[in-house]
Amino acid sequence: MPERWSAFSYLVTNLARFIRPDEVTFSGVNSTPPMLACLLAKRAYDFDFVYINVAGGVQPTPSVIPRSSSDPVLAEGSTAIFSNEDFYDLCTRGGMDLCFLGAAQVDGLGRTNVSAIGDWHAPKVRLPGGGGGAVMLPTARRAVTWRTEHSRRTLVEKLDFVTAAGGLHGVVTPLAVFELRDGSLALRSWHPEASLVEVQRRTGFAFDATGAAPTPPPGARESAALRSLDPDGQFEREANVALR
């Protein structure tokens, strides 16, 4: 029997699969899954790409895999050091091919909320705010976000607040992978242990599922790369990502 594909591994691996050859790819603050995805892609895929991270690293070769995606170790071995202004400048000039950017809520049009949950004037939760996402999501050639929880409170019909819009290309959760198609998020695939019906039940917006199927399992090199990045399972335990 093949090894079970954990929800955490599914999330990281499918983020990595959005990376393309020779592209400039960025992972931001509080972004451990995409940080691991970029490092996984460097180890598992037979192509090169430029990896930039919020710690300032450009093509880094970190000596250890840090718990924080902002750790200065992610600048070790870099060919250059970027400041926040450099990220934004590169992005607005059209030089950023792929950005991994977080979101608290995502709607079916690919808009994101990282500002507030509930009424803006009396929110239940005040979130960090747009920051780089409000600049980079609409100006990057492609942006991809993720949620560690797949539910109707995170994938919503209507956002509590629209922080950023335009440029979102994909969404990855422990349950499914979505991609932008004809201006709306469409289902690309779902976790092999789940079903289309489950994805529909747990998603707050309607979506096109034409051509969707169970996600191809991780290849041997993808699995080996993730094990090398998280040999003791620390990241997986701390992420506490579950399929259901």
Which tens digits make up the pLDDT trace of 163-175?
999 889 999 999 9
Q: Around 229, how many Cα atoms within 13 Å sit in the side-chain half-sphere? A: 29
Give the mean model confidence (pLDDT) for residues 37-62.
96
Taken in order of first residue, the domains within the chain and their CATH numbers are: 7-239 (3.40.1080.10)
Report the percent of the chain where pLDDT is more than 70: 99
Residue, of 2 and 84, whose pLDDT is higher: 84
Question: What are the Cα distances from residue 235, in Å, to 2, 3, 31, 222?
Answer: 22, 19, 12, 16
Residue of 2, 71, 5 lying closest to 36 (CA atoms): 71
Secondary structure class of 27 (helix, strand, coil):
strand
* pLDDT > 70? residue 64: yes
Categorize the per-residue pLDDT at 129 as very low, low, confident or very high, splitting at 50, 70 and 90: confident
**Minimum mean pLDDT range among 127-131, 165-169, 219-223:** 127-131
- The answer on pLDDT for 2 being more than 80 is no
Please state whether 10 falls in left (phi above 0), alpha (psi between -120 and 50) or beta. alpha
Question: Chain-centre distance of CA 62, in angstroms?
Answer: 21
Helix (H, G, I), strand (E, B) or coil at 155: strand
Q: State pLDDT tens for residues 226-240.
A: 999 999 999 999 999
Q: How far apart are CA 145 and CA 25, in angstroms?
A: 13
Residue 156: strand, helix, or coil: strand
How confident is the model at residue 130, as a pLDDT?
83
pLDDT of residue 1: 33
Q: Which DSSP category does 216 fall into? A: P
Distance between CA atoms of 108 and 182, rounded to whole angstroms? Answer: 11
Q: State pLDDT tens for residues 88-125.
A: 999 999 999 999 999 999 999 999 999 999 999 999 99
